[in-house]
Amino acid sequence: MTAWKANPWIPALGSMLLCVAVMPAGTLGAQERDLSGEWVIDPDESDEPADVLETLTRGRSGGSGVGIGIGIFGIPVGEVARTGGGGSEPEEVVRRDLRKLRRHLINTVDELDIEQSPDTLRVDYDDLGTSIYRTGETLEGGEETSLAEWRRDVYTVERHMADDLQATEELYLDRRDPDRLHWKVSIELSSGKAVQIDRIYDRAPQP
């Protein structure tokens, strides 16, 4: 009778399966894409921040308001319902919260210049400043706590400030066209009211 011999590949196969089983799900699911490049806004496909932010102070219908002709970081406030009626926010609440936000979140940004490395994302927001995000790290500075991380193929930066004010940036390439970049900014005021600014950029032509 021929003696049975163990197949030497069986233990190796078992070890491989064990490695796959214990590997973190986030490692397998990560789908980071290179966002590097110079990007120019498509104004026809993008929101104008001033128009979006004006909805915070404009009543939905028939709200009492006063035309005050002032601006927040250059953004016209327009008609403001001081009592917060009709779905609007009091002027002083909006002004206080927007002052605490980074300028690039609430102003027009015509161009983005992005440099991506395995550990960082450097974003030049036109003439409104440059930020260097450390992927996977939580940073604290002043009243702001921020976390930058990949969520599948979306680079996400969450900012939390005092008084429950929050702002989230999402940067990702178009799923059908890698030469188009989406930049979504979501803002939640201390009162809980929220707005979203969506912008789309095209890759700048190379010389």
pLDDT tens digit string along 69-79? Answer: 344 444 444 43
| CATH (residue range 33-203) | 2.40.128.20
- Domain locations in the chain? 33-203
The C-alpha angle 27, 28, 34, rounded to 5 degrees, equals 75
Contact 109, 96 (CB under 8 A): no
Compute how many other C-beta atoms are within 10 angstroms of the C-beta atom of residue 197: 21
- Reply yes or no on whether the pLDDT at 44 is more than 70: yes
pLDDT tens digits along 147-167:
999 999 999 999 998 778 999
Highest mean pLDDT of the ranges 58-67, 72-81, 167-176 = 167-176
Q: Which two tokens stand for residue 46?
A: 């993008």
At residue 62, the 3 state secondary structure works out as coil
Q: Which two tokens stand for residue 109?
A: 């940004």
141 forms beta bridges with 144
pLDDT of 34 reads 96
Distance CA 36, CA 165 (A): 29
pLDDT tens digits along 115-141:
999 999 999 999 999 999 999 999 988
